[in-house]
Structure 1
């Protein structure tokens, strides 16, 4: 089913890409856009994950450079029955994370330094389990390709002013300068169209599966609450420069999604938390995230609350061990 949705999404974005080309240069512009779209689709299938990671300056880590974080992902991947993904860290104060890659065999997960510093071990485990759920559901292919093509659409529309200015006397655009203006107006909405095309049910599905992987829905619920609060007060400059990638994160990095409507990239965080609390009840766990399951977990194991990657004591082990 995900493959069908991916194909439909690519077809829609390709058609939009061609429409922008037509408005700029008529039939010849449409054919050029078609060729560019085909090349972009092929290129993004193989390289979109690398491009997105590069956009955010992600640095790959291993068991030596980030033993707690890397070990957590390894244990969660094993619990989910997934191949070990590549593990990255993004230098950003805003707590957030995303997954990318064309399939589980070529997947990568990335967490920000803000996430690793501000959240507890258990909360980070809930977040990374959510990202691994996206990998398992093969959502990452759709996420990375749509981000790449949306960027190409915006780039093509930005060229409209140059094409329009240089072809006043011999313009292949059937609508003339009006067509150029339409193309320029379409560009800002390209990212929004992509966000509309990405089904928000993917987030609910990844939340549920992620909770099953880590073993405690309330860990993810508590993490979502903290990340959503931080997204509204801590900026993410790279996301502001690349808004078409906002849908890839666990919480919208621009301002945090606030409502379930046609134009939001994510479901309402409160609704997601409520669904996780209901799942916790189903799994016969406490339904009060304020009870701080992370703190209780540490206390029960008498493990000091230390920062990430600082060395010293061994990190606590989750229920997946």
Structure 2
């Protein structure tokens, strides 16, 4: 059901974009809008991962790092039947993590130093598994495309006053309304897609690490940390907020309609409901951890 909802929301985003182009310039405006979207998506497809990692000053982790993070990611990637992604660390006290990349063969997982310090090894395995689930589900590519569409719609809406066709079709009041409502609608669709994908990644992440309670416990700690510790880079670049496992911005100050993530308590409740049920991967109850995720090692 999550995939169907995502497809419907993606269709809504595309229709909104084409509609704005038509209102601005008729059929020619719609064609121009489509060409702009293709160009922006092509650029984002090939460069978004590098841009985001550079934006957050993420540093690569070697295969023999002392913390054992690289070994953990490698083991969980094998569980998920994924190629080994690049591993990065972001030097910020806020506990958080994200995945990026256009496909599983060109993916990266980034975790913060705050996350490394605040979680147990099992909890961190749950977080890494969640990010690998995003890669496996190709959510990173979906969110790149929707973010690009949302940005393009905002750009087109801001150009509205410069297009005579839009004023003739809708009048000045209608044009001003479109400048406000079109970007808002695009942002709401983007956020809805992000929230849908988080639930799917939570469930798939539990399957990868073997115990949903590891991720549930981690989410509770991360949410508390993100609420009281600033992530200054994310605050300066709010367009990347949807990528993190927990919203790095102080979203609790805003209405839930505008949140990029589902309520953490709802995600934890959904994970807890999995306990006692049979895992489709192992045929064992979820409450029994899988051996690969229990490996111990030095921790930072």
- TM-score for both structures, normalised by structure 1: 0.75
Alpha-carbon shift at residue 155 of structure 1 (Å): 3.4
Query: In the alignment, does 2:245 pair up with 1:250?
Result: yes
Instruction: Return closer, same or farther for 1:22/1:91 CA change in 2, 3 Å cut-off.
Output: farther
Deviation readout 1:120-160 (Å, 9 max, x if unpaired): 22211110011111212222221222123222333333444
Given candidates 203, 215, 225, the residue that maps to 2:210 is: 215
Given candidates 200, 207, 210, the residue that maps to 1:205 is: 200
Q: Please give the secondary structure, in 2, of the residue aligned with 1:172.
A: helix
Alpha-carbon shift at residue 7 of structure 1 (Å): 6.0
2:291 maps to which residue? none
- The aligned runs of 1:278-289 (5 Å cut-off) are 278-282=273-277, 283=285, 285=287
Deviation readout 1:270-321 (Å, 9 max, x if unpaired): 22222323333333638xxxxxxxxxx89xx7x7xx752xxxxxxxxxxxxx
2:118 maps to which residue? 118
Q: Distance in 2 between matches of 1:177 and 1:56?
A: 40
Deviation readout 1:221-251 (Å, 9 max, x if unpaired): 1110011112222233443344443332211
Query: In the alignment, does 2:191 pair up with 1:195?
Result: yes
Q: Distance in 2 between matches of 1:98 and 1:182?
A: 35
Query: In the alignment, does 2:263 pair up with 1:268?
Result: yes
Q: Please give the secondary structure, in 2, of the residue aligned with 1:252.
A: coil
Q: Which runs of 5+ in 1 are unaligned?
A: 287-296, 309-321
1:172 maps to which residue? 165
Instruction: Return closer, same or farther for 1:61/1:115 CA change in 2, 3 Å cut-off.
Output: same
1:105 maps to which residue? 105
Q: Distance in 1 between matches of 2:259 and 2:26?
A: 33
Query: Where is the helix percentage greater, Structure 1 or Structure 2?
Result: 2
Which one has a bigger Cα radius of gyration?
A: 1
Query: In the alignment, does 2:74 pair up with 1:74?
Result: yes
Q: Distance in 2 between matches of 1:139 and 1:247?
A: 11
Deviation readout 1:252-284 (Å, 9 max, x if unpaired): 222357999765433322222223233333336
Q: Which runs of 5+ in 2 are unaligned?
A: 278-284, 289-293
Report if aligned partners of 1:130, 1:207 keep a CA contact under 8 Å in 2: yes
Q: Distance in 2 between matches of 1:6 and 1:273?
A: 22
Q: Distance in 2 between matches of 1:46 and 1:99?
A: 15
Deviation readout 1:75-132 (Å, 9 max, x if unpaired): 1111222110111222333211111222211221111222122222221111001111
Q: Distance in 2 between matches of 1:43 and 1:10?
A: 19
Q: Distance in 2 between matches of 1:259 and 1:212?
A: 32
Report if aligned partners of 1:191, 1:244 keep a CA contact under 8 Å in 2: no
